[in-house]
Amino acid sequence: MNKLDAKIPAGPLADKWSNHKNDVGLVNPANRTKLDIILVGTGLAGAAAAASLGELGYNVKVFCFQDTPRRAHSVAAQGGINAAKNYKNDGDSVYRLFHDVIKGGDYRAREANVHRAAEVSNQTIDQLVAAGVPFARDYSGYLDNRSFGGVQVSRTFYAKGQTGQQCLLGAYSGLIRQVARGKVTMYSRRDMLDLVVVDGRARGIIARNLVTGEIERHSAHAVVLATGGYGTIYYLSTLALGSNASAAWAAHRKGALFANPSFVQIHPTSLPQLNDYQAKLTLMSESLRNDGRIWVPKAKGDRRSANTIPEDERDYYLERRYPAFGNLVPRDVASRAAKERCDAGYGVGDTGLSVYLDFGGAIEKQGKAAIAAKYGNLFEMYEKLTGINPYEEPMRIYPAGHYTMGGLWVDYNLMTTIPGLFAIGEANFSDHGANRLGAGSLMQCAGDGYFILPVTIGDYLADKIREPRMPVDRPEFAAAEKEVRDGLAQLIAVDGSQTVTSFHKRLGRILWDDCGMVRNESGITRALESITALEEEFRRDVKVPGDTAELNQELEKAVKVRDFFALGRLMCHDALARKESCGAHFREESQTPEGEAQRIDSEYSYVAAWEYRGERAPHTLHKEPLKFENVEIKERSYK
């Protein structure tokens, strides 16, 4: 059986989605009220979907682990959301947006999905504005745009540095309206711990009530995962501490293939790690690179303070290496270049693991007021967190784990390889290939949730209207619940001597060093061995205090870390199998003589989708070949 039928509709690229919408099955309004949908995750993707599905009349049960849906990590997105409105009359179009995303993803994304994401992007802005999202406007009263992430047009809509918060609150307001109408039932403070599959179809979940510890069974006609990214696998990242892969991993173990797990974006401008206690790396928006210049001292180990280092003793290494794009090279290029300088001994700060982002020149040219108007809130945040005033001294930054392009494999309908299980938002792999462009994720999340899933899930449900509600006393539910209970009890029973967090830190370090910005065969092999050994130690010696039947934050963390071990290994296998460099995945063995990433299209132009075969069995690799019929494949060059 070919596990990977992407179900891409026939016809010209630009007509696929319209044709598909005309062809799919529909459920009439009266019948929708007989159908139940479980939706896990309330970020921009999940909240938009919940609102839209509730409006259509389905019975939607929504889950999130925070106390309210509006705290999902979409709230932290800063920079903006893309759309092809062409309000700036600068030649933008759906095709150009599509083209930029494909190119930015280094030709490892599916054309049809990306084009559709670009098509619905404009409607997303309309929808968010109608919901009361206060996007930035200019004096005419019309919406403002900025240029973001190294593209040549201004297509990014923004709300100061809080675009994610505002978009999420807009989608959330649609969700709570459906809660008030009784169409959406909200289950907050729940962790999804397993997926229930009945007769080969996703029919429910097992969730843990995080306040009481109760294990609950929930059934539905279809299940949607909108559970976000797993960048927290590195321990330190720009994500919220609760972000995790456990729901996706549960689905994976039940048969959903996991695509491109090693494609992780490392963001170049985050606050550096300052000490061992640090729990989080705060992102400093990419927009800072529009005016800030990145440099390190020309002399190795130069410990003089930044302002005392004369101009001609500074190495503006991005401008030196990439004269055409300079400080605005894509994220992966900027990240690797910073790592290269620091590894070579030119890094600054106590740890030598940071580089300067300097606004001195910009302030001199444009004046302090102009810089404050653009970046005031970011400068304040930086000063709050570091005690350093960036108007006077350069910022110190370093790359951090940020976004996972990998995720559950989905077909054109956003359905995983388990019928009835859908994945939307960052949780799926679909649109960003090997690298994501700035402001592209919010665009995809909102599009998936508002406009795509509501159509494609209807198609799936169209022939299920006579199916009665699934009783939760079926043996499949009992078996899944037992497995969950046993797993939790096991974690407590170890009663070892080391905290969950100490294991998470060590796992993160292994992956950061050998499956992070730069990878090679011997490093990845070493990482695989270390992870396996560490996991053994975890099973033998982790200490999870307390009980399963109570509010137990250590137990919540333990579940996440347990699943990260397995996912971490899969990341390594994926990175090992892809012996090319592409996008954020840089294999040292595959570089040009100048040290730039070398893609190998003849061998690796595919999506790697991994099948779970049991806890100790190796995964099976399935390949979805990628065809490019509407763009010309080029080498990325920022020289």
Partner 1 sequence: MKIKLKIWRQPNARAEGGFVTYPLEGVSTEMSFLEMLDYLNTTLIDRGEAPVAFEHDCREGICGCCSLYINGRPHGPAGETTTCELRMTKFEDGATITIEPWRSKVFPVLRDLIVDRSSFEQILQAGGFVSANTGTAPEANSIPVAKHHADEAFDAAVCVGCGACVAACPNGSAMLFVAAKVSQLALLPQGRPEARRRVREMIAKMDDLGFGACGNIGACEAECPKGIKLTHIARLNREFLKTGI
Ligand X SMILES: Cc1cc2nc3c(=O)[nH]c(=O)nc-3n(C[C@H](O)[C@H](O)[C@H](O)COP(=O)(O)OP(=O)(O)OC[C@H]3O[C@@H](n4cnc5c(N)ncnc54)[C@H](O)[C@@H]3O)c2cc1C
- For residue 58, CA distances in Å to 69, 217, 287, 639 come to 19, 19, 40, 52
Give CA–CA dist 55/40, Å, rounded: 18
Between CA 603 and CA 268, with CA 408 as vertex, the angle to 5 degrees is 75
Choose which of 109, 247, 342, 434 interacts with ligand X (CB under 6 A): 247
CB of 173 to ligand X, least distance (A): 15
Burial code of 145-171, b = ≥16 C-beta within 10 A, e = fewer? bbbbbbbebbbbbbbebbbbbbbbbbb
Choose which of 27, 62, 75, 333 interacts with partner 1 (CB under 8 A): 75
Name every residue whose Cβ is closer than 8 Å to that of residue 273 and which is 6 or more positions away in sequence. Answer: 236, 281, 351, 353, 398
Closer CB to partner 1, 16 or 183, in the complex: 183
Q: Which residues pair with 408 in a beta bridge?
A: 258, 428
x/- contact string, 153-192, with ligand X (CB under 6 A)? ----------xx-------------------------xxx
Site for partner 1 in 121-160 (CB under 8 A): 122-123, 125-127, 129-143, 159-160
Select from ligand X, partner 1, none the partner in contact with residue 244, using the beta carbon and a kind-dependent cut-off of 5 to 8 Å.
ligand X
Closer CB to ligand X, 191 or 332, in the complex: 191
Choose among 161, 172, 154, 179: nearest CA to 91: 154
Choose which of 35, 442, 517, 607 interacts with ligand X (CB under 6 A): 442
Q: Based on the shown chain and the rule CB under 8 A, indicate whether residue 534 belongs to the binding site for partner 1.
A: no
Q: Based on the shown chain and the rule CB under 6 A, indicate whether residue 226 belongs to the binding site for ligand X.
A: yes
* Cβ neighbours around 212 below 10 Å, total: 12
Choose which of 13, 35, 39, 44 interacts with ligand X (CB under 6 A): 44
Q: Based on the shown chain and the rule CB under 8 A, indicate whether residue 389 belongs to the binding site for partner 1.
A: no
Choose which of 6, 179, 600, 631 interacts with partner 1 (CB under 8 A): 179
Between CA 557 and CA 564, with CA 562 as vertex, the angle to 5 degrees is 95
Q: Based on the shown chain and the rule CB under 8 A, indicate whether residue 18 belongs to the binding site for partner 1.
A: no
List of E strands, 50-114: 59-63, 81-82
Select from partner 1, ligand X, none the partner in contact with residue 574, using the beta carbon and a kind-dependent cut-off of 5 to 8 Å.
none
Active site residue 70: no
x/- contact string, 390-419, with partner 1 (CB under 8 A)? ------------------------------
Choose among 306, 285, 292: nearest CA to 164: 285
Closer CB to ligand X, 65 or 107, in the complex: 65
Q: What is the 3-state secondary structure (H, E, C) of 174-193?
A: HHHHHHHHCCEEEECCEEEE
Q: Based on the shown chain and the rule CB under 8 A, indicate whether residue 163 belongs to the binding site for partner 1.
A: no
Candidates 1-9, 101-109, 170-178, 396-404 — which segment interacts with partner 1 by CB under 8 A? 170-178
Site for ligand X in 383-412 (CB under 6 A): 402-403
Q: Based on the shown chain and the rule CB under 8 A, indicate whether residue 388 belongs to the binding site for partner 1.
A: no
x/- contact string, 212-251, with partner 1 (CB under 8 A)? ----------------------------xxx---------
Choose which of 78, 145, 265, 590 interacts with ligand X (CB under 6 A): 78
x/- contact string, 443-462, with partner 1 (CB under 8 A)? -------xx--x--------
Give CA–CA dist 368/216, Å, rounded: 56
Choose which of 52, 59, 238, 416 interacts with ligand X (CB under 6 A): 238
Name every residue whose Cβ is closer than 8 Å to that of residue 238 and which is 6 or more positions away in sequence. Answer: 76, 231, 267, 270, 280, 281, 282, 283, 400, 401, 402
Q: Based on the shown chain and the rule CB under 6 A, indicate whether residue 306 belongs to the binding site for ligand X.
A: no
Task: Determine phi and psi for 201, rounding to 5 degrees.
Answer: -120, 150
Closer CB to ligand X, 158 or 412, in the complex: 158
Choose which of 59, 166, 219, 244 interacts with ligand X (CB under 6 A): 244
Q: Based on the shown chain and the rule CB under 8 A, indicate whether residue 23 belongs to the binding site for partner 1.
A: no
Choose among 46, 7, 21, 114: nearest CA to 455: 21
Tokens at 37, concatenated: 């949908």
Select from ligand X, partner 1, none the partner in contact with residue 489, using the beta carbon and a kind-dependent cut-off of 5 to 8 Å.
none
CB of 422 to partner 1, least distance (A): 17
Site for ligand X in 114-133 (CB under 6 A): none
CB of 80 to ligand X, least distance (A): 5
Give CA–CA dist 586/518, Å, rounded: 5
CB 238 within 8 A of CB 513: no
Catalytic choice (32, 116, 293, 331): 331
Choose which of 38, 53, 60, 72 interacts with ligand X (CB under 6 A): 72
Choose among 332, 333, 258: nearest CA to 571: 258
Site for ligand X in 445-504 (CB under 6 A): 445
CB of 274 to partner 1, least distance (A): 6
Q: Which residues pair with 197 in a beta bridge?
A: 202
Q: Based on the shown chain and the rule CB under 8 A, indicate whether residue 48 belongs to the binding site for partner 1.
A: yes
| DSSP assigned state of 340 | H
Site for partner 1 in 318-377 (CB under 8 A): none
Select from ligand X, partner 1, none the partner in contact with residue 45, using the beta carbon and a kind-dependent cut-off of 5 to 8 Å.
ligand X
Choose which of 52, 59, 74, 232 interacts with ligand X (CB under 6 A): 74
Select from ligand X, partner 1, none the partner in contact with residue 165, using the beta carbon and a kind-dependent cut-off of 5 to 8 Å.
partner 1
Residues in the chain: 639
231-234 contacts at long range (C-beta below 8 A, 24 or more positions apart): 231/264, 231/401, 231/402, 231/403, 231/404, 232/401, 232/560, 232/564, 233/401, 233/507, 233/508, 233/511, 233/564, 233/567, 233/568, 233/571, 234/264, 234/400, 234/401, 234/508, 234/511, 234/512, 234/516
* Cβ neighbours around 17 below 10 Å, total: 22
Give CA–CA dist 472/481, Å, rounded: 11
Give CA–CA dist 587/581, Å, rounded: 5
Residue nearest to ligand X (CB): 43
**Which residues are the active-site residues?**
331
Chain residues binding ligand X by CB under 6 A are: 40-46, 63-66, 72-74, 76-81, 163-164, 190-192, 226-229, 238-239, 243-244, 246-247, 283, 402-403, 425-427, 439-442, 445
